Amino acid sequence: MHPDHRGEETLSLITNGNFGSISHQGRAFVALSVFYRYAGLSEENEPPERIRELVPPAMDERARILGAAFRVAHLISAARTGVLPATHFRTHGRKLMLVFEHRMVDLVADRVGSRFKQLARLVGRAGSIVRK
């Protein structure tokens, strides 16, 4: 589907999908996580209030953080196979770090950096990218 509509379309598919053993609240959480991954985290791309009402605010915040993590992971994992095992998050004090093994440092780019810093802000930390 068109990139401008992926967030809304996946939100609709998941919230209306038939998934066994998942509650309405659980389905709303999954839908919000995927929505934030595709639509982004800006205020003009907010999901419909009727969906956000199905989850408590803390759960919506977790969905937002998970969506932000998906946005980072997709950028680095879409480049080639074996990338995710060669990258990881690390914390040190109030700092969140995205660590790239030496063989993956060429994947560090401005978009990866900006999305990672957005994720770090969401979890209340400073963000930095480490090339190991």
| Residues 38-41: contacts with CB under 8 Å, at least 24 apart | 38/3, 38/6, 38/7, 38/10, 39/6, 39/7, 39/8, 40/7, 40/71, 41/67, 41/68, 41/71, 41/118, 41/122
Question: pTM of the predicted model, to two decimals?
Answer: 0.86
pLDDT digits (tens, 9 = 90+) for 53-106: 999 999 999 999 999 999 998 888 876 778 888 888 999 999 999 998 877 777
| 3-131 CATH pick, 3.30.465.10, 3.40.630.40, 1.20.1440.130, 1.10.3210.10 | 1.10.3210.10
